[in-house]
Structure 1
Amino acid sequence: MPDPDALLAALDPEQRAVATTFGVPVAVIAGAGTGKTRAITHRIAYGCATGAYDPHGVLAVTFTTRAAGELRGRLRTLGFPRVQARTFHSAALRQAQYFWPAAMGHELPRVSDHRAGIMAEAAGRQLGHRAESGTLRDLLTEISWAKVSNVPPADYAELAAAQGREVSAVDATAVGRIYARYEQLKSDRGVIDFDDVLLCTVALLSDHDDVRAQVRRTYRHLVVDEYQDVSPLQQKLLELWQTERPDLCVVGDAAQTIHSFAGARSSYLTRFAIHHPEAEIIRLVRDYRSTTQVVELANRVLHAQGPGEGVRLVAQGGDGPQPQFTQAATEADEAAQVARWLAGLIADGIPPSELAVLYRIHAQSPAYEAALTSAGVPFSLRASEGFFQRPEVRNAIVALKGQLAAASGDLVATVRGVLAGQGWTAEPPSGQGQARERWESLAALLVLAEEFAAEHTGAGLTELLAEIDERARVEHAPAGAGVTLSTLHAAKGLEWEGVALVGVQEGTLPFALAQSPEQVAEERRLLYVGITRAKRHLWVSWAVSRNDGSMRRKPSRFLDGVRPAAAPARPARGGGKQNRSKHSLTCRVCGGPLAAGAELKLGRHADCPSSYDDRTWELLREWRRQEAEEVGLPAFCVFTDATLMAIAEARPTDERGLLAIAGVGRSKADKYADAVLEILRAGAAAG
């Protein structure tokens, strides 16, 4: 059993209060980056270590398999691997599958994984034509909202109108009829959907006292993460789980309520003390994630109109660079600028997996996919949900197990060889689709192996496979190998060293459909969530027009008063004196503007004479290729073409001269100075 005092040693005073307050309901108002997961996992561990909790009687619930996996992983590290940490749906499904046969006389209906197909059939019969994929997606979202909000098909039209909800090209009455038809089709086929899992469990516990009593005897201690996101249906389930004197701890932040469209109601958190008069309210305000500059911006955005929801964060991460605010002429220019910013951070030694581009809607993604591909920056689009169930991941694990008998001493080399046999390459495939998704999965496994080898000196393939099996059991997926491209909604709960918030203009953020004060307030919270994902580097940008020059747009109202005075829009091409840096847009020979593509990578016009020795240039490029191949990274992660060319031109003779070249930096000099200087000396001798 872990030492209780040791469990508290790493906590700040507010976190310690969370970990040690028992006997009354507890609500933790946890600001972004304040260590809420640390606080609640240590609460569970401390409670179990002191006898306040029975490890087998704890149920910790959250909203995503990723978050549940992280909770289980941390509890395992703290010495309590058997504590239950699940999503609402996972916990409900487990209970329903166990109790349903005895209570209802038959097995729980199968959960269908073809919701879209059933919806397409239901919508087609009502509309008289095949609905577009976007319409189907909106219909599924609407019906999910209706279910978690306890809205039956017959009442949908009236209640949806009162809530200001709408589906493009489908009126509310038709949506209600499609909803009813969708339910009938599921019934005819003997299946239920994802949201029905909660409905079935609520009905089971409500109608069967013996089942409810047994569940309450099993789970006597409840901990609820992200409580600001609970829906009425989830709240009802939570109440059915609770005893008359609930041992309940909820954790959330009203300032991060960004899922109201899906039925989330932060009022359950903000009014917790009203429903539980004896409750203790504990506020976590110390932000350990971000720099002072990032935290200051987050506070100013959230509280721009007076004291806002949530807490005012107090930065603990020290000083860092100021957030960059950039106005672009067009969306394509904005994407190109972001790609160069990210390439610069990678050149300075930040791993691509520690960087992200966050946008409001999925439709913004293609511009950044194209810009990053053109710049040679690796990226990843897939979410981590269900990582270990992907076919390519399962096949790769089988192949790794088949290599056990012949594994060499170099763990990473062994894994790289096996994954190469499964289709992994040092460079990602161009474009998107299945090939790209397969590569991203295999690259994530390689990153996991590299991190494991670095943290466990001397470990072999057997130990790595044990770690993979445990991660699969607790659904703790590895990070991707490239820059993450994600919507702001999907980024909640994650963090990166550097974050680019893009498309921060009127009509996009806040979104054009956000009209009511409540909807606009949620859009502000969405920007706040995006800002607080950044640890150190933050880029905020917008485009004043579309690529065709139409729709002149203003920067988001949420930036009013929090950004520097407006600067003229900067195109992606051309440049002046202020741009002559490691991200220069001018030819290093003649000083003229560069075009996109190859010229940008070269740093000069193709027809301008080079000022370096061709043999030295080729030696440097070959060395870079070998170095990148050895560590399994794209070549630009060693040095970009522009930096390598600057080295070839400047021909420094010592480390100080090398450090003077933009794009080198201390970490790269420590790694590569000896090799580069030796190549330069060899080139000079040959010349």
Structure 2
Amino acid sequence: MANNREKIELIRPVITPTKFTPTEEQQVVIDSAANRLAILGAPGTGKSATLIASVVQAIKSGFDPNSILVLTYGRERASELRDQIVIQSGANAFEPIVRTFHSLAFSIINTQETPDDPKYVLISGAEQDSFIRELLANPQYSPDVNWPQVLEPALATRGFARELRDLILRASERNFTYKKLIEMSKVLNEPWWEPAANFWKIYDEVLGIRYGFIPGAAKRIDSSSIISQAISDLTSSQKIREAFQNKFKLIIVDEFQESDNSQRDLLNLLASDRVILFADPHSAVGQFRGADPEGVKQYLAANNFEQLALTKPLRTPDAITELTSAIASKFRNPITQYSAGESKGAKVTNNGVIDAAKLASQSDCANYIAHTFRSAHLRDGIAWSQMAVILRSPGAGISAISRAFALNNIPIQIDSDALALGENPAIKPIITIAQIALGKIKLTSNNWDLIEEVLVSEFGGADALSLRQMRIDIGKLREPGDDAKSSTQVILEILDQNDAPLPWEQILSLKRIADVISEARKTVRANSKSGNKVDIADLIWAIWSSAKNYEGDALASAWRKRALKGGIRGASADRDLDAVITLFESARRFAERMPGSDPQLFLDQLLSESIASDAIAARGERGEVVSVMTVHSAKGLEWDLVAITGLQEGSWPNLRQRGSLLGSERLVEAQRSQLLARREIELSAANALIEDERRLLNVAVSRAKKRLVVTAYSKEDDSEPSPYFEEIYEFVNGESSIDADSSDLPRALTPQALVSTLRRNLENQDLVSREFAGKLLNTLAANEIESAMSENWLGGLSLSTDEPVLPPDAQVSVSPSNLQSFSECGLKWFIEKSGGRDGDSTAALLGIAIHSLAAMMKSEPGLTYEDLVSRLENGWQLIDGNKGWVRDYQFKKALEKLEKFYKWHAENKSKRTLFAVEAEFSKVIGRALFNGSVDRVEIDGEGRVYIVDLKTGASDISKAKAEENKQLAGYQLAVYEEAFKEQSPGNQSAGAELLFLGNDSKSASAKPQSPKDHQEVLAQVVAAADAMSANEFIATVNDRCRMCAVKGLCPIQPQGRTVIDL
């Protein structure tokens, strides 16, 4: 059997050694033999290159690679440094040369003194949150913790669990014990720290006990305890301490400012020989994780470090160097700085290196950046991979950038930190369906927003129009007077029971989601029967493997094919598949590290994340893409062209106090500042926050190697540029941005935008401009740019056909209502007949209901007004989906119409006899199939037939217009022709009338029509049949144009007029 599967080849990225020629400053560092050496340098002064060169030099001078330890702040950074060291030195080691502090601590605590010592397994921060929530919800621990009564309502919330975890984390990082935290609670007058310390103790005990009874199980430890446990092991075991001290003869720390106090204590315990630190306290981004950049200076002094400085800027052009220096000069205690160089401190010429643009909206900012990037790619040859967009934090800016870049055909890679997994549109439907299967989310109208989100996702494939059509189709199944059940309730029942009262073909999106829910529930039930909790990975797989797209293909297969095709949609599918892989990896790690835990805990942790948690999942590198990431992720990276966006008031700098209920930030600040008064601690924290935000700006600006673009927008009563943008704008332009006009948004550099400009130039008064535009359009068309081909222009195409809509011998359906509509405006009739009108509105559904209730007076003549009101009320949910005062108002108007009809019916009994309601008729007249139905057929005292047509709309007509009304004349023709399908009422017409119920009068308004000439109306029907099947339809101005539902398609109305003159 032939194998038709695409061949996919995975290629490992080539790692090339960084070219390095040391400066004099760098050479001094490399050659230094100091046992305690600290290198301080501003961004771009070559700290990383010097670190790598120092390690390579040490190996070449005889150091055993296994005796060298390089510590850094993150796993990706460690991988980058490790690759460069290995490729430049050619050395091999038994263990990684470069590690994070946590990786080192993990190896220390897993050092076994005896073969029977258990190993540790690290649980993630999100898993820790889940475990804390589980304990908080368990009443058996409450007496030992002794939470104050005022806190009890907060114990079950995610926010409280997160705050409790933060307090434990900050205390652990500072080597606090339970007892010390209780003591600090009394010193600082923080009464809630004591029960928090009691909880912390129980948390540690339960975490150890839970897995202690599992044979061969590893001990669980969280990230807040791993460093302190390593310190405890080194302190309590001289054998382990000496083993590590003897092992590492050279310890180098990268980005030392990102370390916290406990990590520095760990370093002191290990450092027996040489220690080299690289730091820039003004470039720290990890303060929210406990980093202590302001303590670097004190640490160096306390431990007698010799200090060397790198001051020569090697990365950035003069303008960006000058800007970075200006930003750094405003720190309270500037430590690292650049040498003055040739500029001698004078302001350098910008020369377009830095662009600060104030625009009118967030969307304009995104489009401005997209234009700049595309221009740099096309004109300057800058690779997409050498461009990046940096934001302060995730948010609406990500969506704006995604839209703008897609429109400009720019490939992007959104960093995982910029979008939490639980907020990823590709993942949210999986989470919601899993919660439905677990019973966490009930299929009730209260949760409709979540369920609708799943239906309109790619898992369901619905949209607003198809959902509306489903509601209409469902509503048609119900007879007036049945027990009320809204279309939402019916949809939810279909999803719950996987059974539908109408063909699945009409509700395919419901079928797709119902099938996935059914498969997910089967997985949950299978585990419940065996007495086990479902494995979250199994549940997610059941959902993913049964998901299909709108074409019926497996979603996994559809996304894979799309990703392999490339392009903008391929890039989106690639990102979605990466997110799914990350989800499975996170689920697997959760199941392994917390066996037996409730799967809902995993889903809760996903939904509570503000950024994506750390998950080690394999991802393919997409090569040439623009990176979009937060400033925290941009740390340590560099690009030729960088755009910084989101410099808005209140966003960046974000100076809102990170105040919390339990006050972990006060614990940190009290330890740092040694202050005791709460007011002084809060003021100190506010000042530290200002420094932190400026550090983030310093990092973002210094990522650019060649060009920097900074944007903000000014929108009245919405948002204004922040002081940071003002600072940069003044630096670039020499004036304030406050009174400056918004920058013009350049024309997009896409073929479509160019064609639009050239086509406008074809109308230019200047002959040379017109000729140039024409020649360029011809060139573009010759190169297969479809939008440049004149035959594709609106108005440039000839008519597709001038044939009649129906052949001359075809039968044409003509109804009295169509007869009237066509006479008023042929174009309106044709458009509506062809599907150009929207689906049934509330008014239309109300009209159907009133007609149905009116018809009941024939089958149930004894019905009272109260009976009719009751039946209308029971079915109201199917008519009007509004709530509150809108619903009340609409219902009141409906009752008014119903009352008018009932009174008219009661008064009319003595005048004429009701013969039939909703009476259908059909008759072939020439090529016309004359058909329709009559609301009321009545017989007068002389035995003649009288037709009544009910109108529930708000409009009314004059008596003169009623006399000319072709709909009423058509009904009379049905009488003359004896066209009624059931019993004929006779062929003598007494006339007809329109009965208006929705106008402003207090009673029903009847507009009669006298008997019409039989042959005259007959001729009108024959003529209408010919005109309705013709090839032209005339738009006619009339009194009803104002309320026309299709005037957006009418060429004689402003809303429907084309942009060209035909």
TM-score norm. by structure 2 comes to 0.44
Q: Aligned to 1:562, which of 731, 734, 748?
A: 731
Number of the residue aligned with 1:682 = none
2:282 aligned with 1:255: yes
CA distances 1:341-373 after superposition (whole Å, capped 9, x unpaired): 222222232222211111111124223223322
Aligned positions of 1:493-504 closer than 5 A: 493-504=636-647
User: What residue in structure 1 maps to residue 248 of structure 2?
Assistant: 219
1:325 and 2:327 correspond: no
CA contact (8 A) 1:228 1:269 kept: yes
Counterpart among 73, 78, 81 of residue 71 in structure 1: 81
CA apart distance, 1:519? 1.2
Letter in 2 for 1:253: D
Q: How big is each residue's C-alpha offset from its partner over 1:513-534, in whole Å with a ceiling of 9 and x where there is no partner?
A: 2571221012111101100000
Mapped contact 1:8–1:16 kept (Cα < 8 A): no
Q: Does residue 92 of structure 1 match 2:105?
A: yes
57-66 vs 510-519, which moves further: 510-519
Report the Cα offset of residue 320 of structure 1.
Answer: 6.1
1:550 maps onto 2:718 in alignment: yes
Equivalent position SS for 1:588: helix
Matched, 1:482 2:508: no
The yes-or-no answer on 1:536 pairing with 2:557 is no
User: Which residue in 2 is equivalent to 1:672?
Assistant: none
Give the structure 2 partner of residue 302 of structure 1. 328
How far residue 240 of structure 1 moved from its aligned partner, in angstroms, is 1.3
Take 2:84 and 2:162, find their aligned partners in 1: how far apart are those partners? 35
Residue 518 of structure 1 is matched in structure 2 by 688
Q: The residue matched to 1:251 in structure 2 has which SS? A: strand
Give unpaired runs (5+ residues) of structure 2: 1-17, 139-150, 212-219, 419-558, 583-615, 658-684, 762-771, 790-1062
1:427 maps to: 567
**Percent of pairs identical after alignment?**
20
2:390 and 2:642 in contact (8 A); partners too: yes
Pair 1:613–1:266, CA change in 2 (3 A):
closer
Are residues 421 and 337 of structure 1, via their aligned partners in 2, closer, same or farther at CA, if it must alter by over 3 Å?
A: closer
Q: Secondary structure at the match of 1:429?
A: helix
Q: Are 2:279 and 1:110 equivalent residues in the alignment?
A: no
CA distance in 2, matches of 1:41, 1:499: 25
User: Could you give the per-residue CA deviations for residues 640-665 of structure 1, whole angstroms, max 9, x where no partner exists?
Assistant: x9xx99xxxxxxxxxxxxxxxxxxxx
CA contact (8 A) 1:294 1:538 kept: yes
Counterpart residue identity of residue 631, structure 2: L
Residue in 2 that maps onto 1:399: none
Give the 3 Å change call, closer, same or farther, for CA 194–293 of structure 1 in structure 2.
same
Residue type at the aligned position of 2:313: D
Q: Which amino acid aligns with 1:520?
A: I
The aligned amino acid for 2:37 is V
Structure 1 unaligned regions, length at least 5: 1-6, 166-170, 386-418, 443-472, 593-608, 624-640, 646-687
Change (3 A) 1:134 1:512: farther
Alignment check: 8 A CA contact 1:353 1:479 kept: no
Give the superposition deviation at 1:137.
5.9
Q: Quick check: 1:264 aligned with 2:303?
A: no
CA change 1:477–1:255 in 2 (3 A) is farther
Q: Which residue of 2 aligns with 1:282?
A: 308
Alignment check: 8 A CA contact 2:642 2:703 kept:
yes
Check conservation: 2:376, 2:382, Cα contact below 8 A.
yes
Displacement of 1:313 after TM fit?
5.3
Q: How does 1:89-488 map to 2 (within 5 A)?
A: 89-99=102-112, 101=114, 106-113=117-124, 114-122=127-135, 140-152=165-177, 182-190=203-211, 191-243=220-272, 246-277=273-304, 279-304=305-330, 308-312=334-338, 321-348=352-379, 349-363=381-395, 364-383=397-416, 423-429=563-569, 435-438=575-578, 481-488=624-631
For residues 261-302 of structure 1, the C-alpha deviation after alignment (integer angstroms, 9 at most, x for no partner) is 32112255323442233x331111122111111111110111
Deviations 1:396-453 (A, max 9, x none): xxxxxxxxxxxxxxxxxxxxxxx987943321437968753539999xxxxxxxxxxx
* Structure 1 counterpart of 2:757: 588
Change (3 A) 1:553 1:267: closer
Distance (Å, rounded) in 1 between the aligned partners of 2:571 and 2:187: 44
Once residues 121 and 265 of structure 1 are traced to their aligned partners in structure 2, the CA distance between those partners, rounded to angstroms, is: 32
1:39 Cα offset (Å): 1.1
Task: Tell me the CA shift for residue 617 of structure 1.
Answer: 3.0
Task: State the distance in 1 between where 2:656 and 2:31 align.
Answer: 45
Shift of residue 497 of structure 1? 0.9
Q: Distance in 2 between matches of 1:378 and 1:541?
A: 20
Scaled by the length of structure 1, the TM-score of the pair is 0.66
Contact (CA 8 Å) 1:292, 1:315: kept in 2 or not?
Answer: no
By how many angstroms is 1:580 displaced? Answer: 7.1
What corresponds to 2:529 in structure 1?
none
**Quick check: 2:406–2:568 contact (8 Å CA) kept in 1?**
no
| Counterparts in 2 of 1:365 and 1:184: CA distance versus 1, 3 Å | farther
Which amino acid in structure 2 is aligned with residue 193 of structure 1? D
* Number of residue pairs matched by the alignment: 527
* SS of residue matched to 1:372: helix
Q: Distance in 1 between matches of 2:309 and 2:23?
A: 12
1:57 matched to which residue of 2? 67
Measured against aligned partners, the alpha-carbon deviations of 1:88-127 in whole angstroms (never above 9, x if no partner) come to: 111221232233655xx53123222433432443455686
Q: Paired residue for 2:37?
A: 26
Q: Which residue of 1 aligns with 2:651?
A: 508
Amino acid at match of 1:429: R
SS for the counterpart of 1:326 is: strand
CA distance in 2, matches of 1:589, 1:482: 30
1: CA distance between counterparts of 2:84 and 2:185?
41
In structure 1, distance between residues paired with 2:82 and 2:631: 25
The answer as to whether partners of 2:759 and 2:773 remain within 8 angstroms in 1 is no
1:543 and 1:28 map into 2 onto residues whose CA distance is 39
| Higher-RCO chain (CA-CA 8 Å, sequence separation at least 6) | 1
2 CA distance for matches of 1:337 and 1:141?
A: 39
**Counterpart in 2 of 1:661?**
none
Q: Which amino acid aligns with 1:541?
A: T
**Could you tell me how far 1:323 is from its partner in structure 2?**
0.8
Aligned ranges for residues 640-655 of structure 1 at < 5 Å? none
Deviations 1:557-587 (A, max 9, x none): 6548534223457669x76xxx579699996
Opposite residue 695 of structure 2, the aligned amino acid is R
CA shift, 1:480, in A, is: 5.2
Q: For residue 11 of structure 1, give the secondary structure of its aligned residue in structure 2.
A: coil
Superposed, which structure 2 residues align to 1:606-621 within 5 Å? 611=774, 616-621=779-784
For 1:74, give the aligned amino acid: Q
Contact 2:282 2:293 in 1 (8 A): no
* Map 1:5-16 → 2, pairs under 5 A: 10-16=21-27
Give the 3-state SS of the residue equivalent to 2:277 in structure 1. Answer: strand
CA contact (8 A) 1:26 1:249 kept: yes
- RMSD over equivalenced CA pairs, Å: 4.5
SS at match of 1:294: helix
Distance 2:740 2:748 in 1: 19
CA deviation map 1:68-105 (0-9, x unaligned):
11222122122223272111111221232233655xx5
On the 8 A contact 1:287/1:315 being kept in 2, the answer is: no
**2:249 is aligned with 1:81:** no
Kept after mapping to 2: 8 A contact 1:288/1:316: no
